[in-house]
Amino acid sequence: MENLISQERVIALPSARKEDWREAIPRILIKAKPGLVELDCRDWKLSCRDLKKIISFFEKAGLKINLIRSNVVQTLVSASALGHQTVLRLGEQSKSSSYEENNNSNITRKSSLLFHEGTLRAGEHLEADGDVLLVGDVNPGAKISSGGNVMVWGRLRGSAHAGKFGNQNAKIVALQLRPLQLRIANEIARGPEEKPQEGLAEEAIIESGQIIIQPAKTNPLP
């Protein structure tokens, strides 16, 4: 019975390939009972503005969203920026992204996106030629580097290097960005000492020739 109740409280948007969420929401919400719900955004790439509209629709129907799921990182960054608890939904794209281990300490893969689930511990190095998405933490003494963007769905407290081949447009995005060292292309900086603001994902970018850290925007990928 508990499982049935849990399933009833998850409201899922239709796949982006089947129906526009703007058209589907009125039909979905007319059947929903007021109360706390989880929102599964599936494969939709939603901005903060999009999510605010969805939240407004839900609130008018007497529904309060207590968790947002998605298999699109940009959507989760938007949700986190609005202060919502988030969960990465492992969809087809994530499941197809595997990794290889070398000597139990280096993990490399040549592709547009490397997906890795699990915490990196001291002495481990996650490396890729393209973008990297890690679901977990990067502990002090661990390192993550990529030719593109570095995205950590957790705490980044080790070292991170994005754009290692010289891409100055690369970003480092994390739910908590407090690394020992940041590097984007050839620019190097130390992580900030102050505590991060609760509920906001952060990103590091190059601006005016130096690395700055700011609240993450809704589209971390170029």
Q: Domain boundary residue among 92, 118, 140?
A: 92
Residues 61 and 165 in one domain: no
Q: What is the average pLDDT across 168-175?
A: 92
Residues 101 and 210 in one domain: yes
Spatial distance between the Cα atoms of 88 and 70, rounded to a whole number of angstroms:
5
Residue 111's alpha-carbon distances to 69, 87, 115, 150, in angstroms, are 25, 24, 10, 14
- pTM of model > 0.75: no
Lowest mean pLDDT among 50-59, 106-115, 119-128: 106-115
Please give the sequence-ordered ranges of beta strands (E in DSSP) within the chain, or none if there are none: 10-12, 35-40, 63-70, 86-88, 100-102, 106-109, 113-117, 125-128, 131-135, 143-146, 150-156, 159-162, 172-177, 181-184, 187-189, 202-207, 210-215
Spatial distance between the Cα atoms of 187 and 207, rounded to a whole number of angstroms:
11
Mean pLDDT of the chain: 80
Residues 127 and 210 in one domain: yes
Has residue 117 got a pLDDT over 60? yes
Asked whether residue 222 is domain-assigned, the answer is no
Token pair 């290097």 is found at 161
Asked whether residue 157 is domain-assigned, the answer is yes
CATH number at residue 112: 2.160.20.70
Q: Domain boundary residue among 33, 65, 92?
A: 92
Asked whether residue 221 is domain-assigned, the answer is no
Asked whether residue 24 is domain-assigned, the answer is yes
Please provide the DSSP assignment of 129-143 as one string. SSEEEEES-B-TT-E
Domain of 135 in residue numbering reads as: 97-215
Residues 47 and 63 in one domain: yes
Token pair 């207590």 is found at 66
Percent of the chain past pLDDT 70, that is, above it, reads 79
Q: Which of 140, 152, 216, 147 is nearest to 179 (CA)?
A: 140
Residues 44 and 154 in one domain: no
Q: b/e string for 66-98 if b means 16 or more Cβ within 10 A?
A: ebbbbbbbbbbbbbbbbebebbbbeeeebeebe
pLDDT in tens, 47-100: 888 999 999 999 999 999 999 988 887 788 788 778 788 887 765 444 333 333
Residues 79 and 125 in one domain: no
Residues 83 and 101 in one domain: no
Domain count within the chain: 2
Q: 108 falls in which pLDDT band (50, 70, 90)?
A: very low
Asked whether residue 125 is domain-assigned, the answer is yes
pLDDT in tens, 175-215: 888 888 999 999 999 877 666 565 567 899 999 999 998 88
> Which residues are within 8 A (CB) of 11 and not within 5 positions of it... i.e. 6 or more apart?
28, 29, 32, 37, 38, 39, 40, 58, 63
Asked whether residue 63 is domain-assigned, the answer is yes
3-state secondary structure of 31: coil
> Higher confidence at residue 126 or residue 111?
126
Asked whether residue 220 is domain-assigned, the answer is no
Q: Domain boundary residue among 92, 119, 150?
A: 92
Asked whether residue 156 is domain-assigned, the answer is yes
Residues 57 and 25 sit within 8 Å (Cβ to Cβ): yes
Residues 26 and 123 in one domain: no
Residues 24 and 48 in one domain: yes
